[in-house]
Amino acid sequence: MKLKILFLSFIIFSATLTVNAQEIDQNLIISAYRYYKDIENISINVPTVVEVPFANEFIERSEFAVLDKTTNSFEPYFLKQELISKTPVSISSNPNTDTVDQMNDNNIQTYADFPLPNNIQGQTQITLSYMSPITSSILTALLDSNVALPSSVEIRAFVNGQNRIVVANQRMDQQTVRFPQTTSNKWIITFIFSQPLRISELRLNQEQIAGFNTYDVRFLAQPAHSYRVYFNPDRTAIAPVGEIGNLAFTKDIFIMPVILSQNNSNYIIADVDSDGVADIRDNCVFVSNSDQQDVNNNNRGDVCDDFDQDGIINSKDNCPNNPNQYQEDIDSDGIGDVCDKEESRITERHAWIPWVGVGFASIVLITLFVLTARSKK
């Protein structure tokens, strides 16, 4: 009987852990999205494919999450996109990177990688050359997950044969930069960065084209269920879903009217090192440093800087001010040999010696105590 009770208790405990893990995973996904639309009171009697329009929304990332609020589970969806034909563009960068074309492949899972030079700020100049002039006033630079924004951005455009400044070098506070409407077939964007830079997509909005890109989200809705469609995450957040039906070519579609978007109160800006500073503004994204200390003012936090240029960041370097690539520490006291002033002490080399001294002193004290006690008798 006791074994049965223990077995049932184990099953209940395991189920509780599973439910808690699912709730944590769900909260992590929901917290990545900035907005949502509520889909309620759907007039259907059988499972029906519902289409939710996003025609009037500015979509930065074409990632969505459909939550069935009735069952509290995510549903698979199909994203229907109608992209306006745009002027073809070629892209290059200085310094060159082999992945530069991945900033223009309409795939936010890929990125162009711009490594950070040692002990100095990084700079890259990206040139967008169009087959014919485009008119634009919006630049969007989508970053890979957990990547800090560039420190600053400058935008230039060739207008009537002149290289004009459209956006003077300024601090970059978000992934979308707006500027006065400009027409040009050659644009030069310069980023200065103090953390490794990975750009998923680099887009200039082409406003000379009539119409806009449209997005519609389709999912299979159940009668008497209500749903919430999350959109525009600031990082990749893939919701776990079950099997998906044929949502692309189905005929019986219930098209929802335009639904007002709402701010997601559960949205938490990405902060991978949990130091209270958002990734996009953190001067050391992967090492916690809430004080953002930067004594040499190079926009790189001291904990992930490398003062002595030995290839090991300060927070992991056992001697941050003197090069010691191999981190030698003969006495294992956490201080590298090249800057350990105690290395010559015999007690540093032989940790057992102080204990011998303590033992000897204890024996002397005990002996004196015994002799004193005998003399009194």
Q: Where are the domains of the chain?
A: 2-82+215-263, 89-204, 344-377
The confidence band for 366, taking pLDDT boundaries of 50, 70 and 90, is confident
The rounded percent of the chain whose pLDDT value lies above 70 is 86
Helix intervals (H) in the chain: 2-30, 346-349, 353-376
Q: Which residues pair with 67 in a beta bridge?
A: 74, 228
Instruction: Note whether 340 and 333 are within 8 A (CB).
Output: yes
Fold exhibited by the domain 89-204:
Jelly Rolls (2.60.120)
pLDDT greater than 60 at residue 312: yes
pLDDT, residue 311, reads 87
CA angle 39, 44, 45 (to 5 degrees): 140
User: Between these two residues, 19 and 369, which has the higher pLDDT value?
Assistant: 369
* Per-residue pLDDT reduced to its tens digit, 29-76: 999 999 999 999 999 999 999 999 997 788 888 899 999 999 999 999
The candidate with the shortest Cα–Cα distance to 253, out of 207, 220, 279, 222, is 220
Residues 6 or more apart whose Cβ sits within 8 Å of residue 179: 137, 138, 139, 155, 166, 167
The confidence band for 219, taking pLDDT boundaries of 50, 70 and 90, is very high
pLDDT greater than 90 at residue 208: no
DSSP codes joined into one string, 89-145? EEEEEES--TTGGGGGSS-TT--EEEPPPTTS-EEEEEEEEEEEEEEEEEEEEEEPT
CA angle 163, 164, 165 (to 5 degrees): 130
The confidence band for 137, taking pLDDT boundaries of 50, 70 and 90, is very high
pLDDT greater than 60 at residue 15: no
> What's the chain's average pLDDT?
86
The confidence band for 12, taking pLDDT boundaries of 50, 70 and 90, is very low
Instruction: Note whether 142 and 180 are within 8 A (CB).
Output: no
* Per-residue pLDDT reduced to its tens digit, 328-351: 988 888 889 898 876 555 555 566
Which CB contacts under 8 angstroms, 24+ apart, belong to 342-348? none
Type of residue numbered 140: T
pLDDT, residue 119, reads 75
Q: For domain 2-82+215-263, is the CATH number 2.60.40? A: yes
Longest dimension (CA), the chain: 113
Report phi then psi at 53, rounded to 5.
Answer: -80, 145
Instruction: Note whether 46 and 203 are within 8 A (CB).
Output: no
The candidate with the shortest Cα–Cα distance to 204, out of 89, 56, 109, 102, is 89
DSSP codes joined into one string, 4-20? HHHHHHHHHHHHHHHHH
The pair of structure tokens assigned to 349 is 């080399």
d(CA 313, CA 325): 11
CA angle 125, 126, 130 (to 5 degrees): 145
Q: Do domains 2-82+215-263 and 89-204 have the same CATH topology?
A: no
d(CA 190, CA 213): 27
User: Between these two residues, 373 and 142, which has the higher pLDDT value?
Assistant: 142
pLDDT greater than 90 at residue 187: yes
pLDDT, residue 212, reads 56
